[in-house]
Amino acid sequence: IDTAHIRNFSIIAHIDHGKSTLADRLIQLCGAVSDREMVDQILDSMDIERERGITIKANTVRLDYTAKNGEKYVLNLIDTPGHVDFAYEVSRSLAACEGSLLVVDASQGVEAQTLANVYQAINNNHEIVPVLNKVDLPAADADRVRQQIEDVIGIDASDAIPISAKTGVGVPDVLEAIVHRLPAPKGDRSKPLKALLVDSWYDPYLGVVVLVRIIDGVMKKGQKVRLVSTNAVYQLERVGVSRPKKETVDELGPGEIGFFTASIKQVADTRVGDTIVDEKNMDVVPLPGFRPAQSVVFAGFFPVDAARFEELREAMGKLRLNDASFTYDMETSAALGFGFRCGFLGLLHLEIVRERIEREFNVDIITTAPSVIYKVNLRDGSHLDLHNPADLPDQTLIESIEEPWIEATILVPDDYLGSVLKLCEDRRGRQKQLTYAGSRAMVVYDLPLNEVVFDFYDRLKSVSRGYASFDYKMIGYEEGDLVRLGILVNAEPVDALAMIVHRARAEQRGRVMCEKLKELIPRHMFQIPIQAAIGGKIVARETLSALRKDVTSKCYGGDISRKKKLLDKQKEGKKKMRQFGKVEIPQEAFISALKMD
Ligand code: GDP
Ligand code: MG
């Protein structure tokens, strides 16, 4: 295909602003899918993604469009992941395109996630077409949002396109704008092959499928290619495009987006952002921006039922097949036995993996407190990257501890600004910027990641009644006065509940933890002390009083069935509990106890 007739674009939108719905309409208008085959959110293929309304893998669809001028065009839509945890994947998808549709809900306005992605698109030299969606809603105010796009993002929005992705109004104008306002890709057919590895996933029938954007040269079945970062060579078995049904093609040329398969065993062998070249081509300048995936948040996963460890191991292996950014290593905990220390791109990623293990593999798990990576500088001059609070060396051996900081951008309506500022201050934040756009404030804070990983996002939503939006990027490490806060239940340390906290916040956190655990641990036949300690020093204590009587003792008389019912009910409750010394702690305790109120 002649590059002048190709347009590659992505859709940028804050969650729920209508990205998937618009994609569905574009696919329908171009006749890529028959009405019978049309399902909502055709690009979001995984169940969990569909339920949560997020996309994890970049997805693509090739559309044939005949413009009003009679010319035929090939449009490639790349649907990018929509969450900050997947910012790197988003940046590579954007690098595969020349332009973006910026979809903003005309009844809501610009949100933090929109900003982050639009700046990435601008960094990738994208031409941006603003689209005002949901104009069918009575609350839609296209003029206000157009002005807001100019004020907040700083791009010209005078010819923003008003549409309703739901009813289809205005969508044909979007197609014309793609053809006339976005630039065609450049590229040279006669040069040696150079392609960008945009994303990859595991398909049970095809094996690993690799999504690519051809920069120069051509890609054909049978060709031998080399992945520059690993030097691995593969022979291409199938080269094709997604419409969104997979279709094989003879070749992919410059400017085209498509996929290949090549008997690649696992997704981890293909790295997003890598450069693909001819096998023999040894002196290439790799495409800019490549970065290996890196875990930011770590947590322990342990089976509730220790006997199911092997099943958990199998589940981990299967998930890893399809998710190179999820890592795991075996771990043993004094309290929880055998399990895994897992690394994630962020909290949402953690939640997704946890949910999949429970749902798809049916293994109930206990998740320990998520932790960031600390840099521990020891007195003997050595350094340690600490992923697990339980591994923190003795305080006397430590010179200093450094923790990661992020820069957070929060957009919030005026009314809730006070509560948001308070939340950030409570989490050791340092305000960097506070500006207004209309009745909305944009605040930029530097925050320690450790104060954000657990429940910051939930808290932010609750103090702003859901109106605040949040986005962040890592900015680096900084020394902090950090200590290990341990929890003892009935005088036994529960390592899975240990965490690293700032000294100034340790006592308060300890108190909250003890109070929470007192609520969450059922009463036993004996009294149970619950304590929080820094080193040997107890900083908080609660006491769970003993049960006065056997629960069945009130069923005197001959009511056997009632007694049995009561015992069954207890057994049910026990299913998701773990024994710690003489005490049973329910699964929820591990997550709930760490949430701060
Ligand atoms: P995404 O998260 O950006 O992919 O957003 P979706 O496409 O999933 O849309 C979020 C919600 O907004 C869904 O309930 C859609 O039905 C609804 N929606 C999308 N476009 C429109 C529109 O133009 N008008 C109205 N009223 N609702 C819309
Ligand atoms: Mg969506």
**Nearest residue to 129 (alpha-carbon basis) of 243, 26, 277:** 26
CA of 297 to the centre of ligand 1 (A): 31
**Lookup result for tokens 């949910």:** 355
The preferred substitution site among 11, 15, 17, 21 for testing ligand 1, maximizing ligand atoms within 8 Å of CB, is 21
pLDDT on residue 351: 83
Question: Which of the 8 DSSP states describes residue 371?
Answer: B
The preferred substitution site among 25, 43, 101, 166 for testing ligand 1, maximizing ligand atoms within 8 Å of CB, is 166
Residue whose CA lies nearest to ligand 1 atom number 19: 18
Provide the annotated binding site for GTP. Answer: 16-21, 133-136
Pinpoint the alpha helices (H) of 427-521: 449-452, 456-463, 503-520
Q: Which atom of ligand 1 is nearest to the CA of 133?
A: 23
Contact 590, 499 (CB under 8 A): no
Cα four-point dihedral sign 218, 220, 223, 224:
positive
Interval 164-191: pLDDT, tens: 999 999 999 999 999 999 999 999 999 9
Integer Cα distance of 209 and 254 in angstroms: 20
Q: Who's near 206: CB < 8 A, 6+ residues apart?
A: 238, 246, 261
CA of 134 to the centre of ligand 2 (A): 15
Contact 369, 299 (CB under 8 A): yes
Integer Cα distance of 511 and 395 in angstroms: 22
> Cβ atoms within 10 A of the Cβ of 425, count?
12
Integer Cα distance of 526 and 346 in angstroms: 40
- Which ligand has the nearest atom to the CA of 163? 1
* Residues within 5 A (CB) of ion ligand 2: 19-20
Question: Which of the 8 DSSP states describes residue 170?
Answer: T
Structural tokens at position 335: 């309290």
Interval 107-139: pLDDT, tens: 999 887 788 788 888 888 999 999 999 999 999
Give residues (CB < 6 A) around ligand 1: 13, 15-21, 53, 133-134, 136-137, 164-166
CA of 18 to the centre of ligand 1 (A): 4
Question: Cα 134 vs. chain centroid, distance in angstroms?
Answer: 26
pLDDT on residue 389: 87
Cα R_g (the chain), whole angstroms:
27
CA of 366 to the centre of ligand 2 (A): 30
Integer Cα distance of 446 and 406 in angstroms: 6
pLDDT on residue 80: 75
Interval 75-88: pLDDT, tens: 999 987 666 677 78
Contact 442, 148 (CB under 8 A): no
CA of 321 to the centre of ligand 2 (A): 24
Cβ-based burial of 477 (10 A; exposed 0-12, middle 13-18, buried ≥19): middle
Which regions of the chain are under pLDDT 50? 555-557, 573-574
CA of 342 to the centre of ligand 1 (A): 34
DSSP codes joined into one string, 323-360: -TT-EEEEEEETTTEEEEEEEESSHHHHHHHHHHHHHH
Integer Cα distance of 419 and 462 in angstroms: 10
b/e for 12-28, b at 16 or more Cβ within 10 A?
Answer: bbbeebbbbbbbbbbbb
Q: Which atom of ligand 1 is nearest to the CA of 164?
A: 23
The preferred substitution site among 16, 78, 90 for testing ligand 1, maximizing ligand atoms within 8 Å of CB, is 16
For 565, the 3-state DSSP assignment is helix
Which residues are registered as beta bridge partners of 8? 76
**Nearest residue to 353 (alpha-carbon basis) of 60, 85, 159:** 85
Contact 312, 304 (CB under 8 A): no
**Nearest residue to 54 (alpha-carbon basis) of 359, 346, 357:** 346
Provide the annotated binding site. Answer: 16-21, 133-136
